């Protein structure tokens, strides 16, 4: 019988289980679970950039998706599952007790947002990130130097410091803190002890300032100087980290029974979704893997002997083995991409939800049908009309900082902006300017890598936007002046995670072997249109000038 692995892919809105044949790469079955509490935006406060998720959403999704995916498989598949690996968003940490249980699963904290997972896009810790950066720049060792030289409010230490400052109850009850990508494998193996569970090299290196040159995490003295509340926490965290080809353990008897699997199933060390998405898209050295969804994460790998001690400023870190074990992994990205299109869609939906919904001329069922049908067509219709608009014809220039700026040079306090509006500026023209802004943000990332001496030989795209929007992909290709290959797999992140599981389980000796045997290849390729490239060069300069004005003058 063939062997199978399961890629468990935790996104911002849902979790997916993908079952893959390790010999052929066939994606046998896939099931998605939308987080019910998150769908209601429970525990969130969007105007204050607070985004929290309850661990029950994660646990319910874990069980449901694997059980249902196995039900869809031919007979005999469950008995031949050899490995499970996990990818999640990040940095998404949670406060845990001495047993490694998230505080929101303990009495008294069930409804406390500070006791829940702090989602990657939570930006409540801007002040704390600024203080970390200020202290790092005057410390004898700059602990941010392997993370682009700027620590972000999206990351581990800023988030936990903000929470314990804000909530004395959580501060007193928290023994340690655990990333989402570390907690799920710990749950599956039955070892959630914060001091013994295996911690992800990917998460620790990119988001927590872990580095071998520092002997692990930054020094105790650094943290105490930052805030005495952090005293002693380092000793309750970790020193060692592990790449995604390493086994975290085997499936516990409790979870084997819940899932209908064997206790011989190997559980791999977790990693972040974008990093394992790059694996699933068959990333190769000096090719930028762009995960294009609500935000973007741009992954690049390079041989260690070629990168050497080179430091790339303003990115989201460079970590040995964070993407492909044995290779340097470099991360960048945009804090908002598809989220910007979704924001504009919500803006246009306002009359539907607030005027049509109140109409007494039609019945409730008809109203809801009209609202749903219209809402579903907004982006598609905008795209059709925007494609007809000549480049620069509208005079509108936008900035893609609606959720702050991740790269280059993280600054989550920045806001988006639109300039050049007049009384003829209609929805398709504004939409096109927003799409162009996201493409310009992508080019700013490429320019930073190249200016810092890291070449980019090609681009591989994956994610929902890459698969669905020809308009966006052609504009990005034109702006970057580079061909863009789109990965064939609909679920590259989950596929990459299934590949990691195959290596952790010993089916393949390394990630390259797993990619070769399980990869889905390329679906399509977008090529830059020369005349568009030249027009966008001029518009990109306007984007940069507008950005400088907003950042430094506004």
Rounded-to-integer distance, Cα 372 and Cα 366, Å: 10
Q: Which two tokens stand for residue 176?
A: 């340690």
Orientation of helix 273-280 relative to helix 492-504, angle to 10°: 90
**Cβ-contact 214, 141 below 8 angstroms:** yes
pLDDT digits (tens, 9 = 90+) for 119-170: 999 999 999 999 999 999 999 999 999 999 999 999 999 999 999 999 999 9
Whole-number pLDDT of residue 385: 98
Conformational region of residue 399, where left means phi above 0, alpha means psi within -120 to 50, and beta covers everything else: beta
Rounded-to-integer distance, Cα 231 and Cα 450, Å: 40
Q: Which two tokens stand for residue 52?
A: 């929290």
CA distances from 79 to 22, 76, 250, 426, 514 (A): 14, 5, 15, 57, 21
**Cβ-contact 175, 197 below 8 angstroms:** no
pLDDT digits (tens, 9 = 90+) for 170-208: 999 999 999 999 999 999 999 999 999 999 999 999 999
Rounded-to-integer distance, Cα 254 and Cα 251, Å: 8
Strands (E), 231-316: 247-250, 266-268, 271-272, 287-292, 296-303
- Quote the Cα angle for 216-273-5, to 5°: 105
* Listed residue (58, 62, 51, 184) closest to 119, CA to CA: 51
**Cβ-contact 152, 411 below 8 angstroms:** no
* Listed residue (501, 516, 462) closest to 19, CA to CA: 501
Whole-number pLDDT of residue 427: 98
Burial of 358: CB neighbours in 10 Å, binned 0-12, 13-18, 19+: exposed
Rounded-to-integer distance, Cα 430 and Cα 260, Å: 51
* Listed residue (266, 275, 181) closest to 507, CA to CA: 266
**Residues 50-64: b if buried by 16+ CB within 10 A, e if exposed:** bbbbbbbbbbbbbee
Q: Which two tokens stand for residue 279?
A: 């694996």
Whole-number pLDDT of residue 294: 87
Question: Which residues in the chain show pLDDT less than 50?
Answer: none
* C-alpha radius of gyration, the chain, whole number: 23
């Amino acid at each position: 019988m063939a062997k199978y692995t399961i890629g468990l892919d935790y996104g911002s809105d849902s979790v997916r289980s993908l079952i893959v044949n390790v010999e052929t790469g066939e994606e046998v079955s896939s099931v998605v679970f939308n987080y019910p509490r998150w769908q209601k935006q429970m525990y969130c406060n969007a105007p204050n950039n607070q985004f929290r998720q309850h661990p029950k959403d994660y646990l319910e999704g874990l069980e449901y998706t694997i059980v249902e995916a196995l039900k869809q498989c031919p007979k005999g598949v469950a008995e031949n599952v050899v490995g499970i690996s996990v990818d999640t968003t990040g940095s998404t940490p949670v406060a845990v007790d001495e047993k490694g249980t998230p505080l929101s699963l303990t009495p008294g904290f069930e409804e406390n947002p500070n006791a829940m997972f702090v989602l990657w896009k939570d930006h409540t810790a801007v002040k704390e990130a600024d203080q970390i950066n200020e202290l790092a720049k005057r410390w004898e060792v700059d602990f941010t130097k392997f993370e682009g030289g700027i620590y972000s409010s999206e990351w581990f230490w800023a988030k936990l410091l903000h929470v314990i400052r804000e909530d004395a109850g959580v501060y007193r009850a928290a023994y340690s803190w655990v990333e989402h990508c570390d907690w799920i494998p710990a749950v599956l193996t039955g070892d959630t002890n914060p001091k013994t569970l295996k911690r992800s090299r990917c998460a620790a290196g990119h988001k927590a300032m872990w580095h071998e040159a520092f002997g692990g995490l930054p020094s105790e003295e650094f943290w105490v100087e930052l805030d005495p509340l952090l005293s002693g926490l380092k000793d309750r965290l970790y020193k060692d980290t592990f790449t995604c080809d390493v086994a975290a353990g085997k499936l516990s008897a409790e979870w084997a029974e819940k899932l209908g699997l064997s206790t011989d199933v190997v559980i791999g060390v977790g990693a972040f979704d974008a990093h394992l998405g790059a694996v699933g898209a068959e990333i190769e050295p000096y090719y930028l893997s762009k995960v294009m969804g609500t935000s973007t994460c741009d992954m690049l790998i390079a041989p260690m002997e070629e990168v050497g001690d080179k430091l790339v400023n303003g990115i989201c870190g460079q970590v040995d083995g964070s993407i492909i074990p044995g290779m340097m992994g470099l991360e960048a990205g945009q804090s908002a991409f598809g989220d910007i299109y979704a924001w504009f869609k919500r803006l246009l939906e306002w009359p539907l939800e607030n005027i049509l919904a109140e109409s007494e001329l039609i019945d409730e069922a008809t109203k809801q049908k009209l609202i749903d049908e219209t809402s579903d067509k907004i982006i598609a219709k905008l795209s059709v009309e925007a494609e007809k608009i000549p480049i620069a014809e509208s005079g509108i220039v936008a900035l893609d900082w609606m959720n702050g700026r991740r790269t280059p040079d993280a600054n989550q306090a920045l806001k988006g902006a639109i300039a050049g509006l007049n009384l003829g500026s209609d929805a398709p023209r504004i939409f096109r300017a927003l799409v162009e802004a996201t493409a310009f943000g992508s080019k700013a990332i490429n320019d930073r890598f190249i200016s810092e001496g890291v070449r980019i030989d090609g681009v591989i795209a994956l994610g929902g936007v890459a698969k669905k929007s020809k308009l966006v992909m052609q504009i990005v290709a034109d702006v970057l002046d580079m061909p863009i290959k789109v990965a064939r797999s609909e679920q590259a992140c989950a596929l990459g995670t299934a590949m990691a599981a195959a290596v952790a389980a010993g089916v393949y000796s390394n990630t390259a072997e797993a990619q070769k045997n399980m990869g889905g290849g390329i679906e399509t390729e977008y090529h830059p249109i020369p005349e568009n490239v030249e027009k966008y060069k001029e518009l990109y300069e306007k984007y940069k000038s507008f950005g400088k004005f907003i950042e430094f003058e506004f």
